[in-house]
């Protein structure tokens, strides 16, 4: 890649054969020009430009990013205890720690808030990181310390590699970093980020693959743990299902089906919530009942047809009808989303395509996911994800 042209490609931050000192000087010029409102000699990569734009829009200055917020020891221990990442520490350490020590890197594991929970690797580099406040307990979110491979990976929900002045804070220019989110394979929830950081001149394209391989191994371990827990729940629930009249199923707290009787159950339903009706194909609306570490889902009588009436006129609202009914007012944005979902039909639509429909580009995936999450909390189980669509068995009627 030429260091005098566009620097817009996504990953890795630099290609093979790049003159790193020269490229670092170019990025410093780009950084200073963009943040001062002048025309830069080249455009930042798209993921970097989005991050800088977010920070500028929020009034965050590069200098303020050097004031690191540290959690106390009690909070760090509490976060370590409750994060699911603790279960995959052995895999992450075996994959990354020895490599990091040999290659003069540090390995950092942060939670979904960007708080550093564990840090290992090169002793000399850990001392250099201490000088930045990049230590256990540090809040390394994008809003706190600017563009970085932990906080920006969380915002973008995507792997991020940064080199030199692509960092927002000037004090971070001597570093390169590569981070990738870890997802809970049961829920899709972002659990945190695995990061490898080192000196800027040690940046290498293969670091991206190394971090992503470690993340995939971690997620595979979490999935294996999930299947073991489903089997335990199945054994616990078997006598209850056997004594239950009519069709029923048992699901874990994420909605994964452990066992079912009397119906062809899907692999997963919406995560149960106490007292909230749950829509299950073949059963209709059911109120889940606690059962050990999971939920018993059943109904008596015939399945109920679920109907959704969407009034997308001047005062948009949605009415859901089944055994019970409820009406929710809709914001203009939510009305727009529901109109797109009706037009997409049973095939549904992914987050990037929905971003194009709503905003005219694919750069608002984070905003799309947040809006869908709020919409599902409002309307309940009539919406499905992966892709976004109305759930099977829901009859949708649009007026206005």
**Among the listed residues 319, 311, 287, the one whose alpha carbon sits nearest the alpha carbon of residue 300:** 287
SS3 at position 246: coil
At 269 the pLDDT is: 82
Q: Would you give the DSSP letter of residue 29?
A: H
CATH 3.90.10.10 fits 20-224, yes or no: no
Cα separation, 217 vs 88, whole angstroms: 9
Ranges of each domain in the chain: 20-224, 245-299, 306-398
| 253-296 tens-digit pLDDT | 988 999 998 887 778 887 887 777 777 767 777 878 999 899 99
Determine what percent of the chain is predicted with pLDDT higher than 70: 94
Whole-angstrom CA distances from 290 to 149, 275, 298, 340, 345 are: 40, 10, 12, 36, 34
Predicted local distance difference test score (pLDDT) of residue 384: 82
Q: Give CA–CA dist 1/230, Å, rounded.
A: 49
Q: With a cut of 70, list the residues of the chain below it in pLDDT.
A: 1-10, 281, 300-305, 322-324, 380-381
Measured CA to CA in angstroms, residue 182 lies from 51, 188, 207, 273 at distances of 20, 9, 16, 25
* pLDDT of res. 5: 36
41 backbone dihedrals φ, ψ, rounded to 5°: -70, -15
Tell me which architecture the domain covering 306-398 has in CATH: Orthogonal Bundle (1.10)
Q: What is the pLDDT of residue 28?
A: 97
Buried b / exposed e over 34-64, threshold 16 CB at 10 Å, is: bbeeeebebebbebbbbbbebbeeeebebee
Question: How confident is the model at residue 385, as a pLDDT?
Answer: 80
pLDDT value at residue 198: 95
Q: Report DSSP letters for 319-342, one per residue.
A: EEESSSEEEEE--HHHHHHHHHHH
pLDDT of the residue at 2: 32
Tokens of 258: 């452990």
Q: What length does the chain have? A: 400
Which tokens in the block code for residue 274? 């106490």
pLDDT in tens, 35-66: 999 999 999 999 999 999 999 999 999 999 99
């Amino acid at each position: 890649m030429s260091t005098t042209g566009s620097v817009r490609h996504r990953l890795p931050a630099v290609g093979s054969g790049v003159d790193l000192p020269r490229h670092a000087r170019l990025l410093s010029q780009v950084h200073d020009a963009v943040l001062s409102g002048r025309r830069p000699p080249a455009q930042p990569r798209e993921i970097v430009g989005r991050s800088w734009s977010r920070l500028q829009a929020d009034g965050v200055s590069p200098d303020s990013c050097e004031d690191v917020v540290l959690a106390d020891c009690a909070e760090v221990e509490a976060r370590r205890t409750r994060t699911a990442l603790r279960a995959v520490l052995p895999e992450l350490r075996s994959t990354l720690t020895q490599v990091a020590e040999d290659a003069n890197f540090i390995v950092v594991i942060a939670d979904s808030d960007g708080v550093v929970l564990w840090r290992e690797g090169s002793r000399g580099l850990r001392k250099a990181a201490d000088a930045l406040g990049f230590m256990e307990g540090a809040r390394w979110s994008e809003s706190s310390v600017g563009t970085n491979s932990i906080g920006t990976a969380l915002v973008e929900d995507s792997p991020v590699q940064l080199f030199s002045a692509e960092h927002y804070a000037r004090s971070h220019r001597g570093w390169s970093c590569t981070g990738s989110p870890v997802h809970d394979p049961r829920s899709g929830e972002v659990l945190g980020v695995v990061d490898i950081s080192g000196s800027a001149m040690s940046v290498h394209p293969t670091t991206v693959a190394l971090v992503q391989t470690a993340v995939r191994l971690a997620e595979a371990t979490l999935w294996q743990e999930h299947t073991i827990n489903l089997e335990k729940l199945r054994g616990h629930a078997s006598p209850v299902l056997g004594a239950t009249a009519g069709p029923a199923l048992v699901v874990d707290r994420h909605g994964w089906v452990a066992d079912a009787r009397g119906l062809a159950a899907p692999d997963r339903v919406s995560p149960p919530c106490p007292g909230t009706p749950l829509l299950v194909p073949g059963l209709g609306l059911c109120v889940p009942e606690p059962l050990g570490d999971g939920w018993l889902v059943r109904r008596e009588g015939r399945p109920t047809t679920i109907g959704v009436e969407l009034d997308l006129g001047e005062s948009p609202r949605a009415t859901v009808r089944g055994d019970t009914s409820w009406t929710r007012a809709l914001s203009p944005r939510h009305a727009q989303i529901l109109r797109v979902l009706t037009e997409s039909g049973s095939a549904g639509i992914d987050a990037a395509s929905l971003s194009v429909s709503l905003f005219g580009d694919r750069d608002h995936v984070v905003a799309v996911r947040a809006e869908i999450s709020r919409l599902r909390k409002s309307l309940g189980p009539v919406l499905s994800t992966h892709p976004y669509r109305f759930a099977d068995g829901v009859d949708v009627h649009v007026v206005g």
